[in-house]
Amino acid sequence: AQRVTQPEKLLSVFKGAPVELKCNYSYSGSPELFWYVQYSRQRLQLLLRHISRESIKGFTADLNKGETSFHLKKPFAQEEDSAMYYCALSRPDFGNEKLTFGTGTRLTIIP
């Protein structure tokens, strides 16, 4: 069975400082990894998917298969980055039929 672990429930970072939200996964096959974000009073929305290799709102994430990690990073935090962040995994071999989420990290940017 697949599992996603986000070790930090809460993370506070000063504005302008680097941000790293940790995500580790366990899955025997080749997963697809995602970061979803939920801003205050808004719906869950896709931030990044690893196959896209994009940088969205200054965030990047690299899939490290050796360490089974998909950490989310941003070099300079902004106040608007304060939100709830969820790491999620799907299984392309099973048609990406569902997302398995971690428990989430609440990021607070201190002005």
Partner 1 sequence: DAGVTQSPTHLIKTRGQQVTLRCSPKSGHDTVSWYQQALGQGPQFIFQYYEEEERQRGNFPDRFSGHQFPNYSSELNVNALLLGDSALYLCASSLVAGLYGYTFGSGTRLTVV
Catalog residues that contact partner 1 under the rule CB under 8 A: 4, 6, 9, 34, 36, 43-46, 49, 86, 88, 90, 94-104
First-to-final CA distance of the chain: 41
**Which residue, 75, 77, 74, is CA-closest to 35?**
74
Query: Whose Cβ is closer to partner 1: residue 43's or residue 66's?
Result: 43
Query: Whose Cβ is closer to partner 1: residue 24's or residue 100's?
Result: 100
Share in percent of the chain as helix, strand, coil (round to 5): 10, 45, 45
Q: How far is C-alpha 84 from the geometric centre of its chain's CA atoms?
A: 10
Distance in Å, CB of 45 to partner 1, minimum: 7
Query: Whose Cβ is closer to partner 1: residue 15's or residue 57's?
Result: 57
Output the CA torsion sign for 71, 7, 102, 80: negative
Distance in Å, CB of 76 to partner 1, minimum: 27
Distance in Å, CB of 42 to partner 1, minimum: 8
Query: Whose Cβ is closer to partner 1: residue 9's or residue 111's?
Result: 9
